[in-house]
Structures are given as C-alpha cells and as structure tokens.
Amino acid sequence: IVACYQGYVDIVIALAQCPHLDVNWQDNEGNTALITAAQAGHITITNYLLNYFPGLDIEKRNVFGFTALMKSAMQGRTECVKALMMAG
C-alpha cells in the first residue's frame, strides 16, 4: 500500500509477483492498494491494478464507506476517476 501511495511503479510490479499477494487487503483504515493509488492520483498504478488483477474488488470500501472512485473524485484525480469509471 505504501508503494501505491508513493507512486513506486517498479515496486508495485515486483510485489505483484508474490504468489500469496492479496490485492484486496485492507490497512487499519480499510484502504486497499487501489484506494490508495487512486486517491494519490497515480494513474499508472491504478491502471496496472485494474488491468492485471482479475480478483480486484473495485467496490471495496474503507472504514469511512469510501470506494477508490469516491476517494479519487474527492481529491480531484480526474484521470483515476475516468479509469475507475471505465472499469465498472
């Protein structure tokens, strides 16, 4: 999640190779990798998660009830909003 927030694309891609990676894992506030990347405006990571993880739950909500789409819209991350809307 930290790599997604910081925009470290290479680290996200490397971690994706881990066989037991849970892409829908939530931190103590309920944020997932997708929520974190989208709210930070990292479109490359957001698209990577959307395109390479078929089990990704784009409707997952954090403890405040926000999805990745909601968080990216609240932060004005228009590219991420567009990508999330196209993903469903």
* Domain map (residue ranges) of the chain: 2-87
- Does domain 2-87 fall under CATH 1.20.58.100? My reply is no
pLDDT, position 79: 98
Report in angstroms the alpha-carbon separations of 63 from 1, 26, 60, 67: 16, 10, 10, 10
pLDDT, position 88: 85
**pTM greater than the 0.95 cutoff:** no
Cβ neighbours of residue 22 closer than 8 Å, sequence gap 6 or more = none
Q: In angstroms, rounded to a whole number, what is the distance separating the alpha carbons of residues 65 and 52?
A: 25
What does the pLDDT look like over 37-53, one tens digit per residue?
Answer: 999 999 999 999 999 99
Q: In angstroms, rounded to a whole number, what is the distance separating the alpha carbons of residues 32 and 38?
A: 10
> Taking residues 16-28, what's their average pLDDT?
92
